Amino acid sequence: MVKTGRGKSRGRLYKQPKSILIVRENGEDMSAFTDLPGVDMATPESMSLRKLAPGGIPGRLTMFTVSAMERIGKVKQDA
């Protein structure tokens, strides 16, 4: 998508849409997803509102691995 306005002349010609957010543990290899446009990776410790709702728009598709879900449960119990 080509942006409108003065941003084109300042080197910001295209918009990169956000796609799926994959939450994984640090040691897991998810290199197959890194080449897809708009896909972001996160760990349970690095989760933030900006990753879950980029641009203030809620409802981003999020995929959790099993080990990440276990880690989230552990973090919740420790708090």
pLDDT tens figures, 40-65: 999 998 888 989 998 888 889 999 99
* 3-class DSSP assignment, residue 31: coil
Phi, psi of 63 (to 5 degrees): -115, 125
pLDDT at 2 over 80: no
Domain boundaries, the chain: 18-78
Mean pLDDT, the chain, integer: 85
d(CA 53, CA 21): 10
